Amino acid sequence: MNRLLRVLVVEDSEIDVALLIQELQRGGYEPDFEWVNTPEAMNTALSKPIWDVVIANCFVPGFDVSNTLALLKEKKLDLPLIIVSDDTHEGHALAVMRAGAHDYLIKSELARLVPAIERELRVVREHQAHRKTEQALHENENRFRALIQHVSDMVAILDANGIIKYKSPSVERILGYKPEELVGKNFLEYIHPEDVSPFSVLLRQEPGQSGRVTGIELRCRDRNGLWRCHCQVDY
């Protein structure tokens, strides 16, 4: 069964459109395509969020590749743009690629069309997966921050060396420091000298390591230099 491919074709020759579609069918695709040859028609077509790829001739009268690139940029569409042209001049091909096209093919070498499309579709899928991962991480970070912003206990995030990467707002109520004053400082500077050793052992242990220390209590120094707070540390 052929794979569906939704293609927007920018071309002025009906014969060349037919050859492109034939090549896609030969490559195992069932093209669902629209043929446009003016900027207005392409602008209307791009309003439909359905396309997988754009295949464009460089030199449609009154509608060259710069118009195609400008419309894609204006619509903020992450669509592969494959240029198919009669122009074999290497300098022109390089200029088009630098301007934003994803590949440049000569009409006499259409055998390259399907491999080029499949490569670019893989890149698009990878970009989409990466964006989804980044979005999920960002959402998780926002949820985490929203949660700890309002806890009554003092919450800190440290790196492996004990450098404070984050302190919850509750630190100001408990110890008198503003959170931003502590970020970038070493947490060891704020705990009692007698507690430095057990806490250092805790820092050196890997998460999940058997026999690790959990639930230790540390005496923390407040802004006035008093050891007035016992901090429960879980790891």
Specify the CATH number for the domain of residue 51: 3.40.50.2300
The 3-class SS string of 171-202 reads HHHHHCCCHHHHCCCEHHHHECHHHHHHHHHH
Judgement on whether residues 14 and 92 belong to the same structural domain of the protein: yes
What's the total number of domains in the chain?
2
30 C-beta neighbours (distance < 10 Å), count: 12
| 86: three-class secondary structure by DSSP | coil
Predicted TM-score (pTM) of this structure: 0.59
Judgement on whether residues 171 and 114 belong to the same structural domain of the protein: no
Residue 7's domain comprises 3-137
Which pLDDT value is given to residue 16? 93
Q: Is residue 162 part of a domain?
A: yes
Distances (CA, A) of 216 to 130, 162, 169, 200, 219: 39, 15, 22, 12, 10
Judgement on whether residues 109 and 170 belong to the same structural domain of the protein: no
Judgement on whether residues 59 and 164 belong to the same structural domain of the protein: no
Judgement on whether residues 106 and 60 belong to the same structural domain of the protein: yes
Judgement on whether residues 79 and 113 belong to the same structural domain of the protein: yes
Which pLDDT value is given to residue 32? 94
Q: What is the DSSP letter of 110?
A: G
Give me the residues paired with residue 172 across strands.
none
51 C-beta neighbours (distance < 10 Å), count: 18
How far is Cα 224 from Cα 226, in angstroms, rounded to an integer?
6
> Mind listing the pLDDT tens digit of every residue in the chain (235 residues)?
678 999 999 999 999 999 999 999 999 999 999 999 999 999 999 988 889 999 999 878 888 888 888 898 888 888 899 999 887 777 778 888 888 889 999 988 899 999 999 999 998 888 888 888 888 888 777 777 766 666 667 888 888 888 998 888 888 888 899 989 999 999 999 999 988 888 888 777 765 554 444 567 888 899 998 987 666 665 5
Q: Is residue 143 part of a domain?
A: no
How far is Cα 115 from Cα 66, in angstroms, rounded to an integer?
24
Q: Is residue 67 part of a domain?
A: yes
Judgement on whether residues 133 and 179 belong to the same structural domain of the protein: no
How far is Cα 12 from Cα 26, in angstroms, rounded to an integer?
22
Judgement on whether residues 180 and 102 belong to the same structural domain of the protein: no
Which pLDDT value is given to residue 147? 66
Residue 182: closest CA among 153, 145, 220, 147: 220
Judgement on whether residues 122 and 21 belong to the same structural domain of the protein: yes
How far is Cα 46 from Cα 38, in angstroms, rounded to an integer?
12
Judgement on whether residues 82 and 122 belong to the same structural domain of the protein: yes
